[in-house]
Structure 1
């Protein structure tokens, strides 16, 4: 019999690889695994508490209610949008999320704010700033190209937002060489 669980803090392909390995090590057959969701074949002698413990030991949590589930789906959609630059400049964040999650934005927004204590927009800005830090660290793009690639209207808008969030200019951050990036599952 197949069982589906939703997992909190699964934010990248390394998370998927790690959990695949952990399930395999435990003798549990994974049918499918994507960000935030695992479908596996139930195994005799392996109960929900065992899986919860395995997840916790690796920095993940089992999602138990609908609000948490929706919040995790929102986070995953936002991380994908930043990583893949799916949210084009013609489409605003609210319509992107509504389409992606097939829900009215007001429902999405209220649930996210209730669960996380911060607005979707604020969370998205923090994600984008972490992406900016990554791009600065890689040194492949200049500040204007970074701003353009993340759909900012101008590099000065990005610079202002970066300074507001981090307390330093992008140039100061680049010169530090001590990157101080946050893991995506610890944003806000």
Structure 2
């Protein structure tokens, strides 16, 4: 019988590929593997246990309720906004509320309660990790990085960067100690 599972901590195309490969290797039939959602055809308790083991051993979790699902959708939307660098023309609150068709105040409280930080703080963490990536790539100046992340000035980014990493952007670049976090480990 086909069943939909909502999966936490899926953040990129590699996550989808890992699960597809694992399901194929375990002969688990699936019709969909998307960020945060998997549709599989489970025919026995043994297959269900194998499926759950694949999810857990690869660092994912099965979302157990509607709140978990909503929080994962919010994280995915915010990660897309930062990593793809789109959607900056709209405030975060409007962006999230419009995409999820709920009041921002409800979503914000749900996120803070579940994740332990506000949506705004989470976005800052995402931006700092993206800045680290862009610094490591070495193709943009600090001002260009700040602009690409929708900061009004490079000094604002620099202050947040130092506050969260303990290093200035220049020090981070020159020491080449690339201590970046994966998106699912940001909080």
Give TM class, smaller chain. Answer: over 0.9
The whole-number CA distance in structure 1 between the counterparts of 2:58 and 2:123 is 25
TM-score, normalised via structure 2 length: 0.95
Name the structure 2 match of 1:62: 62
TM-score, normalised via structure 1 length: 0.95
Structure 1 residue 4 corresponds to structure 2 residue 4: yes
CA deviations 1:117-175 (Å, max 9, x no partner) are 11011011001100000000011111111111111111111111111111111001001
Equivalenced residue count is 187
1:135, 1:146 within 8 Å by CA — same for their partners in 2? yes
Worse overlay, 47-56 or 150-159 = 47-56
How far the C-alpha of 1:47 sits from its partner, in A, is: 4.2
Q: What stretches of structure 1 move > 6 A for 4+ residues in a row?
A: none
The whole-number CA distance in structure 2 between the counterparts of 1:57 and 1:123 is 26
Name the structure 1 match of 2:138: 139
Structure 1 residue 84 corresponds to structure 2 residue 89: no
2:3, 2:40 within 8 Å by CA — same for their partners in 1? yes
Name the structure 2 match of 1:119: 118
The whole-number CA distance in structure 2 between the counterparts of 1:9 and 1:160 is 29
Structure 1 residue 34 corresponds to structure 2 residue 34: yes
The whole-number CA distance in structure 1 between the counterparts of 2:98 and 2:171 is 38
Name the structure 2 match of 1:129: 128
- The CA RMSD measured in Å over matched residues stands at 1.2
Name the structure 1 match of 2:148: 149
Name the structure 1 match of 2:165: 166
The whole-number CA distance in structure 1 between the counterparts of 2:70 and 2:162 is 31
The whole-number CA distance in structure 2 between the counterparts of 1:124 and 1:16 is 23
How far the C-alpha of 1:46 sits from its partner, in A, is: 4.0
- Tell me: CA distance 1:26–1:43, structure 2 relative to 1, closer, same or farther (3 Å): farther
The whole-number CA distance in structure 1 between the counterparts of 2:105 and 2:186 is 22
2:42, 2:48 within 8 Å by CA — same for their partners in 1? no
2:55, 2:61 within 8 Å by CA — same for their partners in 1? yes
SS at match of 2:178: coil
Structure 2 runs not aligned, ≥5 long: none
How far the C-alpha of 1:109 sits from its partner, in A, is: 0.4
